[in-house]
Structure 1
Amino acid sequence: MQPTGHLRGDAVHVAGDARQRFHDSSGYGRPLQGNEIALSRVEAAHLLFRGDLSGVTLDEGESDPVGFERFFVACAAATERFAVRYLVYADLRDRGFYLSPARDPWPGGDADVPGAVDFIAYERGSTPDTGNVKYPVQVVGERESLPAAGLAGRTLAVVDEESDITYFEAAAGAIAGATEYEPPATLDGVLLADRVVVWDAPDGLYERGFYGQPLTGRAAAVEGAVQLSLVEAASLAADGVLSLSASVGAADADGGPVNAAARIVARGRDVEGERFDRRLTVYKRLREADAVPKTGFKFGADFRTYLDVETVEDLPHSEHLVRVVGPAHEFSPRELSLDVRLAGGVRKEMVFALTAVKRGDSGDAAARDSDVEWLAIGRLTP
């Protein structure tokens, strides 16, 4: 006959040979005195579902134990997010993992994981006693919001409205390229509404640096003209490479020389607000890392990146899609799933660049560099 559990606060106590039967052999619960163990509500529900517990008494004044159905409903009413947490726990158990709640006094509470983590899944063959953590699992319902900051190092288990589970791995990432190209010392361009045209660009600017897009067409009489996006132009201007021609104004309002970087950044803010500052910071960081960022518009991202460009004639596939968000950004799981699925479908890694907005000392000066937290997220099959 299977043992009976007794609900005491937030734990189900099981006596008899429970320690050998459940904890030592399968990693359930935590030992108490003698052979008694305490199970979390999710663990007890799983054992009830499997038929390894005959029932659980819900309080000391109730003599008749209840089965899985009543226990599940009672726990769902008493414990926040119990249903989605149970679904993930049961799924990972079925996949062969031992798990424990990631909070004291349960064994998983010893793991160095954020408070948002629900379970610790141990490496196959490992028990809570050995402590070899495979996945720190954060359970997320389809309609919950998910703060982007601090997600690195977690396994996300997203439960949708039909109780299917999708797993994602979030990792701290850094994009490092091997593109060897130094822009020319000077470029002269004309600022238009939302781009800059360099009329006499050197061949290498586009062919080897993959800056901009040439103005081309059948029987074109104009050669050497390259259109730069505002982020490309602002980055080159901040490095002292790009200046603006007198055709857009020979002097600033104070009579001084044209400040190309400030003028282009101001135009960028006019076009897309403070988001331009974030995108510019990320663009500059990618160029500093010898990667080549180009627009990711076709993929619904801010940038796609090429790590090793020798010539546009022999261009490799881009490796990443980069989406720029603020440090306080909160994902919806649907949004996250869409981004990751699209990136995987085009054989790219999805990377989010979390960066704040820092402006210069004067309101219209070029943006100052901000910290960037790189967060790579991909699908996972545990």
Structure 2
Amino acid sequence: MLSLNCFAQYYEWGLPGSKSEVASLIESNGNKIDKNRPYAELWMGSHPNCPSKAKLSGVNLQDVLEAHPELLGPYVKSRWGNQLPFLFKVLSVNKALSIQSHPDKALAEKLHSLYPQWYPDENHKPEMALALGPEPFEALCGFLPLPQLQEHLRSVPELIDCVGLEVAARLLACDPESDCRSALREGFTALMTSPPDRVASSVSRLVSRLSSRLASSSSSSSSSSSSSPPLTPHEQWILTLSQQYPNDVGILASLFLNILSLQAGEAVALSANEPHAYLRGECIECMASSDNVIRAGLTPKFRHTDALCENLTYRIGVPEILRGERLVEKEGGEEGG
């Protein structure tokens, strides 16, 4: 077995070292941590953006594999050459990540050719995220079932302001039993490309309205007067995201997407060209060895809105939550995994 030194990424959305599983793993390997610094990701693999190193020699993992390809085994070597085909990560999320997608193989090659400064790899990036717990791992993932999306359009006038009346009307007229991907593409693209001043105005009004409702609900709960209805999970996240990314179009985009809350041991598989954004919690990820991300909201980084909107699958529905299958039991009859 080859022992590795693996390294952290200190993105600003990470949990502080005092609370981060990433930092805990770094510390357990004999390294000092800064309890106030954000520890976002621990990378385990040979990707050049943050390669692991052999613990004894300090040699990059990719150089080790080039010198000793037999470590990969005959199947991996025959299919991927001297490359480790996957990248394994631990994530500690304190602040929402960008609304994003990952390209399929053909799109990755195209984007890398045109914009190598933004897309460093020719490879696709399908991935799976598995919640670590103990707190739920929360994420936006995939487009809402049509009835729920239509309810948001009916009940959130600020969303209509950015989507547009005619475009929204076509989405509202869609039959859930029919193929509505064209109308969904039109509606989501209209929102994501809405002028920033219009987005800012709409978000400001929506946040003000929800904040007033929250205050009214809180004050009414301590009295006998009738209270406002409690905020929905989407409405709660709108208020949280507005503090993290004020006036961002991603705040409104969250109303198009499912909110997932994964308990420890639950997982979700993310195919290419599916919209998602991790919101809060800790998980482990396994993905193809790639660092290609198409971003369009909730980020200070480069946004490639056209590329994201043009290439999404616009598949509608709640993603499957994977819970695995228990295969063995611990000795003494106690279940194990």
TM range (shorter): under 0.3
The higher radius of gyration belongs to 1
Bigger share in strand = 1
TM-score, normalized by length of structure 1?
0.24
